[in-house]
Amino acid sequence: MQNRLLASIASLAIASIALAQGSLKIVSSLPRTGSANAQTTSMVNGIKMAIDEVGGKVDGMAIEYEDMDDASPQRGNWDPAVEAQNANKALADEKVIGYIGTYNSGAAKISMPVLNKAGLVMISPGNTYPGLTKPGTGEANEPRIYRPSGKINYFRVVPTDDLQGTVAADWTKEMGCKTVYLLDDRELYGKGIADVFEKHAKEIGLKVLGREGIDSKASNYKALANKIKAAKPDLVYYGGTTQTNAGQIAKDLRSVGVEAKFMVPDGCFEKAFIEAAGAANLNGKTFVTFGGLPADQLTGRGAEFRKAYMAKYNTDPEAYALYGYECGRVLLDAIKRAKTKDRAAILAAVAATKDFDGALGTWSFDANGDTTSKIMSGQTVENGDFKFVKVLGK
Amino acid sequence: MHILHHLAAAVPLALAASTDAPEAASWVDPLLQQLVTGLSNGMIIALIAIGYTMVYGIIELINFAHGDLCTLGAFLALTIAGALGVEAWGGLGGASGVVILLLASAVFCAGLNWTIDYVVYRPLRNAPKLTLLVSAIGCSFILVNVALFWGGLPMGVFGGGVAAAAPKDFPGLVSDDNLLPAAWHVTFTASDLLVVSVTLPLMVALTVLVRYTKLGKAMRAVAQNPTAASLMGIDVDRVIGSTFLIGGALGGFASVIYALYNNTISFQMGYRTGMDAFTAAVLGGIGSMPGAVVGGLVIGLVRALSDGYLEARWTNSVVFGILILTLVFRPSGLLGAKLRDKV
């Protein structure tokens, strides 16, 4: 008992010394255990670079950083219990003034309401599910359920999924296509993107020849492909993923002889899509939008970041490194403007971020907490691999 | 061949002539195309449906594992195709590759189906039917997970096994080039031909087997009354085993045709295909073999026409709507026998 008392007095003393010296702490909650570790390493490298850039100090206050894992070995993936634990741990430590995370949108759903109640700012380098911030894009009660306090404490530096629909429609027009045939998998992600695509396509004068929700478990789509062939569109857009049979659709379009181009969102931006579809069915005629840029396409501050990153880590930064870096910088910038260790003041400063000189160009946080940046990359498939074509959404 | 050629040429001509309008072909050709697609899909469904209906006819079990058995047949075919490098054989070699895959999967699925019967269903012969049904569902789960594991093996054809659950590309050993003259505006590909040329002979052979052989007679006898059959000296377990063997072999053939026609396989393919086939068997009259074939063709055609002329999202509703209507007016299915009184 006495020991414990002593220990707590000691830790209190240490804490107060730290406070006296003006030390702040940023934590990140990202999946370390399992398949997403590579992305997490990139994001953490980015955050560390942002902190190093300011010499680990803002306004005389030292910045500490802790890299927390939100995955568990049992799941090999993010774990709701661990994510909740991380959020509570961050709240309990009064030095913590910012929470960077999460990588998975599902994990954000867990920690968002917890941090929201306490008013701790949260910035995500990886969540793309629109429903986390945008009313009307997800379930009826989203994003309200993530904001029990009624205020916004959650921000993200990545463009959301639904923006891919807008960017894809613009790209379709740029390629000289005039008519499109739209398909979706009738799921939240795929249908959401296709809806946005359709709306924007009509606004910019693309003709939508047809719109179909497909059965993603069907054995083939030859009958549908016959119908599309008769409609003669310039491009077929599928709002769906590898798992909802994008590969089979590509295959059947080619097997019945549809000549149109084929475009899909980033749910298909994975090797498994090319493997499922068969490279020969995709080569040269397939286009993929993806929220991120290859390192060699970065300009301005992004290019500086790439140079520094390569010098330090000896490898090109992945898209996620850049988002990690952006999270760190925008948080540090807010601390600098707030000039205090107060969580509420820093939250207000983050929310007020405007015309931020970021690595992905100049952007602001909008009223929902989303970045105004829409920068994405357009990829195509060549020789059985993805190949960067151009920067989209500028 | 000659007659067929004339017939095929005459049909669009006759249709075009009857409407007397130049744009007639604009709706005739797409319709014919959808019929070709529907029939090819329907034949694959029919071949699997036979496996359901045979087992039901003989032991009144809806063998839910049958669709997933086909999944494993397709995974075996892909594994063999990868190991032998069949894709590169080309020409006649390619054809012999197809034959190897068909035979290997048929033998494998026949053996596996027989084993499942021997290990799982046979000890339950006198158990309540529900016990048997639940065991079949259990077998289905096991097979699905075996397929999931199989797809995760580190092999080139499975993309190194990185994404076990992802759909797998099946090499296009049979081309999608049109076999008909371009002027006909309707495509009938080599893979359509494959479906017809494997499915039809199998169906004929099966009919001959059931109608005219001793085993067929024994199967019919066991289906009618197992007790009486055994009193007549028929080894009932052996006959049931043979039924599983034959149904499994047909499933094996179907799985390879499915894989060559769709060029994609996945660990979940058996669920949907099995569901379609089971629906076909019920629609045609479960227990009736011609019924399974008719049911399969009807479902294939309805799917294609619904996809083509309604919206794809309604297709499942249309298929099951037709099933319900059929069962309301003909409870034993299209070709089903009158319900037997089992006293």
A114: domain CATH number is: 3.40.50.2300
Same domain for A140 and A68 = yes
Mind giving me the DSSP string for A23-50?
EEEEEEEE--SSTTHHHHHHHHHHHHHH
Side chain identity, residue A5: L
Cα(B78)–Cα(B43) distance, rounded to whole angstroms?
Answer: 21
- Under the banding of pLDDT at 50, 70 and 90, the label for residue B249 is very high
Would residue A370 count as lying in a domain? no
Same domain for A387 and A306 = no
Same domain for A325 and A214 = no
Same domain for A73 and A15 = yes
> For residue A182, which residues of chain B lie inside 8 Å, CB to CB?
none
For position B115, what pLDDT does the model report? 97
- Under the banding of pLDDT at 50, 70 and 90, the label for residue B251 is very high
Tell me: pLDDT of B339 over 60.
Answer: no
Cα(A83)–Cα(A75) distance, rounded to whole angstroms?
Answer: 13
Numbers of helices and strands, H then E, in chain B: 12, 2
Strands (E), chain B: 168-169, 264-265
For position A4, what pLDDT does the model report? 57
Cα(B120)–Cα(B140) distance, rounded to whole angstroms?
Answer: 12
Cα(B168)–Cα(A41) distance, rounded to whole angstroms?
Answer: 30
For position A258, what pLDDT does the model report? 93
For position A330, what pLDDT does the model report? 95
Helix axis angle, B214-224 relative to B25-59, nearest 10°?
A: 70
Q: Do A276 and B258 touch (CB under 8 A)?
A: no
Would residue A135 count as lying in a domain? yes
The answer to which of A34-43, A377-386, B66-75 has the lowest mean pLDDT is: A34-43
Tell me: pLDDT of A16 over 60.
Answer: no
End-to-end CA, chain A: 62
Cα(B339)–Cα(B330) distance, rounded to whole angstroms?
Answer: 11
- Under the banding of pLDDT at 50, 70 and 90, the label for residue A73 is confident
For position B8, what pLDDT does the model report? 45
Cα(B293)–Cα(B49) distance, rounded to whole angstroms?
Answer: 7
For position B178, what pLDDT does the model report? 86
For position B17, what pLDDT does the model report? 43
Same domain for A9 and A120 = yes
Helix axis angle, B25-59 relative to B236-262, nearest 10°?
A: 160
Cα(A293)–Cα(A325) distance, rounded to whole angstroms?
Answer: 14
Same domain for A37 and A50 = yes
Interface test with chain A among B32, B195, B307, B315, by most A beta carbons within 10 Å: B307
Under 8 Å between Cβ of A46 and A323: yes
Rounded to an integer, the average pLDDT of A150-163 is 92
Side chain identity, residue A62: A
**Residue B163's closest chain A neighbor by CA?**
A272
Encoding tokens for residue B134? Answer: 């639940």
For position A39, what pLDDT does the model report? 85
Count A/B contacts: CB-CB distance under 8 Å. Answer: 104
Between A2 and B228, name the one with better pLDDT. Answer: B228
Encode pLDDT of B273-282 as tens digits. Answer: 999 999 999 9
For position A266, what pLDDT does the model report? 87
* Assembly ipTM: 0.83
Pick from B264, B313, B316: CB nearest A247: B264
Rounded to an integer, the average pLDDT of B298-304 is 96
H helix or E strand, kind and range, residue B300 = helix B289-309
**Residue B174's closest chain A neighbor by CA?**
A255
For position A18, what pLDDT does the model report? 46
Under 8 Å between Cβ of A75 and A65: no
Q: Helix or strand or coil: residue A347?
A: helix
Cα(B338)–Cα(B20) distance, rounded to whole angstroms?
Answer: 46
Encode pLDDT of A190-217 as tens digits. Answer: 888 999 999 999 999 999 999 999 998 8
> For residue B169, which residues of chain A lie inside 8 Å, CB to CB?
247, 275-278
Rounded to an integer, the average pLDDT of A158-163 is 88
Cα(B67)–Cα(B52) distance, rounded to whole angstroms?
Answer: 9
Under 8 Å between Cβ of A86 and A70: yes
Cα(A103)–Cα(A337) distance, rounded to whole angstroms?
Answer: 27
Between A362 and B9, name the one with better pLDDT. Answer: A362
Encode pLDDT of B111-160 as tens digits. Answer: 999 999 999 999 999 899 899 999 999 999 999 999 999 998 988 888 77
Q: Where are the alpha helices (DSSP H) in chain A?
A: 2-21, 37-53, 80-92, 105-118, 163-174, 188-203, 222-231, 246-255, 271-277, 279-282, 301-313, 319-338, 343-351
**Angle at Cα B43 formed by Cα A246 and Cα B95, nearest 5°?**
80
Q: Helix or strand or coil: residue A66?
A: strand
Would residue A371 count as lying in a domain? no
For position A137, what pLDDT does the model report? 80
Between B330 and B17, name the one with better pLDDT. Answer: B330
Under 8 Å between Cβ of B192 and B33: no
Q: Helix or strand or coil: residue A238?
A: strand
Tell me: pLDDT of B7 over 90.
Answer: no
For position A11, what pLDDT does the model report? 54
Q: Are strands A376-382 and A385-392 parallel, antiparallel or unpaired?
A: antiparallel
Mind giving me the DSSP string for A184-217?
E-SSHHHHHHHHHHHHHHHHTT-EEEEEEE--TT
Q: Do B307 and A227 touch (CB under 8 A)?
A: yes
Would residue A7 count as lying in a domain? yes
A76: left (phi over 0), alpha (psi -120 to 50) or beta: left
Same domain for A8 and A66 = yes
Cα(B332)–Cα(B283) distance, rounded to whole angstroms?
Answer: 8
Tell me: pLDDT of B47 over 80.
Answer: yes
When divided into structural domains, chain A yields a total of 2
Between B269 and A39, name the one with better pLDDT. Answer: B269
Q: Are strands A376-382 and A286-290 parallel, antiparallel or unpaired?
A: antiparallel
Same domain for A324 and A312 = yes
Same domain for A122 and A51 = yes
Rounded to 10 degrees, the C-alpha dihedral B42/B43/B47/B50 comes to 60
Same domain for A168 and A133 = no
Q: Do A254 and B176 touch (CB under 8 A)?
A: yes
Q: How close, in Å, is residue B190 to chain A by CA atoms?
A: 11
Encode pLDDT of A75-112 as tens digits. Answer: 778 899 999 999 999 999 999 999 998 998 889 999 99
For position A2, what pLDDT does the model report? 52
Under 8 Å between Cβ of B167 and B266: yes
Mean pLDDT of chain A: 89
Q: Do B268 and A223 touch (CB under 8 A)?
A: no
Same domain for A79 and A11 = yes
Under 8 Å between Cβ of A137 and A192: yes
Would residue A241 count as lying in a domain? yes
For position B210, what pLDDT does the model report? 92
> For residue B159, which residues of chain A lie inside 8 Å, CB to CB?
271-272, 275
- Under the banding of pLDDT at 50, 70 and 90, the label for residue A295 is confident
For position B1, what pLDDT does the model report? 38
> For residue B268, which residues of chain A lie inside 8 Å, CB to CB?
217
CA distances in angstroms from A171 to A168, A183, A376, A390, B327, listed in the order given: 5, 17, 11, 10, 50
The answer to which of A266-270, B25-29, B178-182 has the lowest mean pLDDT is: B25-29
**Domain extent for A168:** 163-290+376-392
Would residue A368 count as lying in a domain? no
Q: Do A226 and B162 touch (CB under 8 A)?
A: no
Between A325 and A101, name the one with better pLDDT. Answer: A325
**Residue A156, beta-bridge partner list:** A124, A370
Would residue A247 count as lying in a domain? yes
Q: Residue B226: how many CA atoms within 13 Å on its side-chain side?
A: 12
Would residue A283 count as lying in a domain? yes
**Residue A161, beta-bridge partner list:** none
**Residue B315's closest chain A neighbor by CA?**
A215
Q: Which residues contact B220 (CB under 8 A, 6 or more apart)?
A: B210
Same domain for A125 and A31 = yes
